[in-house]
Amino acid sequence: MKKIIALLIILGFASSSCEPDDICDPNTPTTPRMLIQFFDISNPSLRKNVTNLKVIGEGGQAEGVVFNPSGVDEAKYLTSTDSILLPLNTDADIVKYKFILNSGNKNPLLVNTDNLEFKYTRESIYVSRACGFKTIFNLDPTNPFTLSDATPADEMWIQYVIVAKNNITSENETIIKIFF
């Protein structure tokens, strides 16, 4: 009987010293990506789908930004939508992207590449012990982006860019509007 009581006391102390696992809730906001929306240049109030857009980031995204994780081969890097989410570099204050319209088209004259470079500052914010830190971004108020043509022989497909909001704290707010 004494052995059973001693065992129960030991088990009671052992279980009371356990700590819950630190697991980051998937719904916890983490480092946001930048929401970019595309608009019709002839009717600026209408959002417009891009056709087979591929976005290649300088550095770690040589193949392209993955828009369709379930896609196979090149299809996972293409999108035909009116909005995209792009990650910003958490280790530097600048990121460069190639925006390729009609990527993969058999007619090379229809493929058009423009370059966009974004400048910003970063701020690390503590989220929790389980989730760690997240980074929020603030686009440079005087020079947030640079737009250039990757192939001077063709014309730029991106006609106009507007910064809708400088602070990138959430993926739910439009940051950049591109008109084409």
Position 1 pLDDT exceeds 70: no
Reported as type and span, the H/E element at residue 127 is strand 112-128
Give per-residue pLDDT as tens, 159-172: 999 999 999 999 99
Section 68-82 average pLDDT: 93
Report whether 134 contacts 100 (CB < 8 A).
Answer: no
Q: pLDDT tens across 11-67, in order?
A: 565 555 555 567 888 888 889 999 999 999 999 999 999 999 999 998 766 789 999
User: So what's the pLDDT on residue 152?
Assistant: 78
Angle (CA) 36 37 43, round 5°:
150
Number of Cβ within 10 Å of residue 1's Cβ equals: 5
Does 22 or 101 have the greater pLDDT score?
101
What is the pLDDT, as a whole number, of residue 13?
57
pTM: 0.83
* pLDDT exceeds 70 at position 7: no
36 and 176 Cβ atoms separated by less than 8 Å: yes
The secondary element (H helix, E strand) that includes residue 149 is strand 145-149
Examine the pLDDT at 125 and tell me if it is beyond 70: yes
pLDDT of the residue at 24: 86
Check if the beta carbon of residue 166 is closer than 8 Å to that of residue 145: no
Q: What per-residue confidence (pLDDT) applies to 159? A: 96
- Each residue's pLDDT tens digit, 12-27: 655 555 555 678 888 8
Residue of 87, 85, 152, 144 lying closest to 116 (CA atoms): 144
Sign of torsion, CA 27 124 118 65?
negative
Residues facing residue 126 across a β-bridge:
133
* Average predicted confidence (pLDDT) for the chain: 89
